Amino acid sequence: VDMLTCYFWMVCIASNLPFTAQPCCGLIIISRSVSPTYAAVGDSVTLKCYFIPAAEDLGELDIEWSIKPSDAHGEETRIIWNAGNHMYYGYDPLRGRVQFASPNPASGNASIRITDLRATDQNTYQCKVKKLPKISMTKMDLNVMERPTASECNLEGAVDLGHNVVLRCRSKQGSPPMWYNWSKDSSDKMLPNDACINSVRGDLYLTVTRDVLGTYICTAQNIVGMDTCSLTLKFNLAVRVRIAVAAAATVLIPIISIIMIISIIITIIVCCCYRINTVQQIAIEIVKDEIQNTLECAPETPAEQKADSPPEDSPGCVPETVIHQTLEGLAEILADAMAESPHEDSPGCAPESVIHHTLECVAERLAQQMADSPPEDSPGCVPEPIVRVQNTLECVPENPAEKTAEDICYNSI
């Protein structure tokens, strides 16, 4: 047996293993479409059938395609065939939609092409090649399916922080089996870490956070096609307003607290300064009143002195005019001391200690002026100013002195 004959025998045995037993000599079908073959409604499909004729087959070549009945005892329905280089069509539902894929099927390509597929085109198709005395045949299943279409995405649940929501995806049309997939419309297409997908039902389960917000894409898919829909997850107006208010409150509360604390501190400072000013003003007014009273008590002219008073140049007695001039000088010294002695913490405020020490200085100078004066009942002597100044000192509250009375007195002079 030559090499070509051996090749034909090997191909014949291999190609007929899954098919009906037939003579393994001469004509054989060497290739066909995968069974089942899936195609979508409206598409076109090619059902493949390739054969090799044998030189010893002398009969006329006959190529026939038919639909095998689901019942094993039913009759086959021929849809197209080629005999003697003539084409024949015998199945009305496929008329005008089926034809041989090759213009010359006798060359070894007996494949057919069906266009504008319909759901009713789903059948078992058989390719039979005859050249007497040999016959070779093969069959294949064609499954015509609908692509997923009219997919809809819906949201179930309230889009609020911490809430659980479900994104549902349903395709109104499409042949099973169908499965669903979800992705996020972002650069990496990645879903949140806690997302959960039910691929059969098309549900996506999420817990709402700020990172979860965005647009999600659902892909409904079966063997012959796919369809998509999208849904944007976002806060509604009420939730956005509430979140904005909460965020603003988080920022404003510390600011308001700081402002309140500063206001309280300023209020305390103002009140304390006002109190100090008030006490100092009261003390100054008391001192001025006492000095004024003292001046009013002293006669301004020698004519008002008593007739029996000794002359102003009498030894051991200080004339009233001298006391009057001394008190006027002391009043000026006191005013200057009040103006030039500001408080350490409150500019413009005279501390109580300065007033106290200034009055002590006044008392000391009066005491020195009056040291050589005779007793109170001596004619022409007026020691009363000393008593008035001492009374004034008792009206001024004492504070720890930072300077000695002597220093203040000398600085004032």
How far apart, in whole angstroms, are the C-alpha atoms of residue 5 and residue 257?
Answer: 103
Look at the block and give the residue holding tokens 């000192």: 393
- HSE value, Cβ hemisphere, 13 Å, CA-based, for 392: 29
Instruction: Give the closest residue to 217 by CA, choosing from 246, 197, 237.
Output: 197
Identify the pLDDT of residue 238. Answer: 59
CB atoms within 10 A of CB 224: 19
Average pLDDT over residues 171-175: 92
Mean pLDDT of the chain: 76
Least confident of 82-96, 318-332, 336-350: 336-350
Q: How high is the pLDDT of residue 256?
A: 82
Tell me the average pLDDT across 213-235.
Answer: 94
Give residue 411's pLDDT: 43
Q: What is the pLDDT of residue 361?
A: 74
In Å, the largest CA–CA distance within the chain is: 185
Residue 51, pLDDT > 90, answer yes
Taking only the tens place, the pLDDT of each residue in 52-81 is 987 777 778 999 999 999 887 888 999 999
Note whether 212 and 233 are within 8 A (CB): yes
Give, in words, the CATH class of 149-235. mainly beta
pLDDT at 48 over 50: yes
Q: How many CB atoms lie within 10 A of CB 258?
A: 10
Q: How many CA atoms lie within 13 A of 361 on its CB side?
A: 23
Q: What is the mean pLDDT of residues 369-395?
A: 54
Domains 3-145 and 149-235 share a fold: yes
Taking residues 235-248, report their average pLDDT: 63
**395/353: higher pLDDT:** 353
Report how far Cα 131 is from the mean position of its chain's Cα atoms: 77
Residue 29 CB contacts under 8 Å (≥ 6 apart), including other chains: 15, 49, 50, 51, 110, 127, 129, 136, 137, 138
Domain positions in the chain:
3-145, 149-235, 276-412
Highest mean pLDDT among 117-121, 303-307, 315-319: 117-121
Considering only 165-179, 256-270, 399-413, which range has the smallest mean pLDDT? 399-413
* 303/313 Cα distance (integer angstroms): 15
* % of the chain with per-residue pLDDT over 90: 36
The burial class, CB within 10 Å (0-12 / 13-18 / 19+), for 165 is middle
Give percent above pLDDT 70 in the chain. 59
Domain topology for 3-145: Immunoglobulin-like (2.60.40)
pLDDT in tens, 112-162: 999 999 999 999 999 999 988 888 999 999 999 999 999 999 999 888 888
**Between 14 and 49, where is the model more confident?**
49
Which residues, at least 6 apart from 167, have a Cβ–Cβ distance to it below 8 Å? 153, 154, 155, 156, 182, 203, 204, 206, 216, 218, 231, 233
- What is the C-alpha end-to-end distance of the chain, expressed in Å? 150
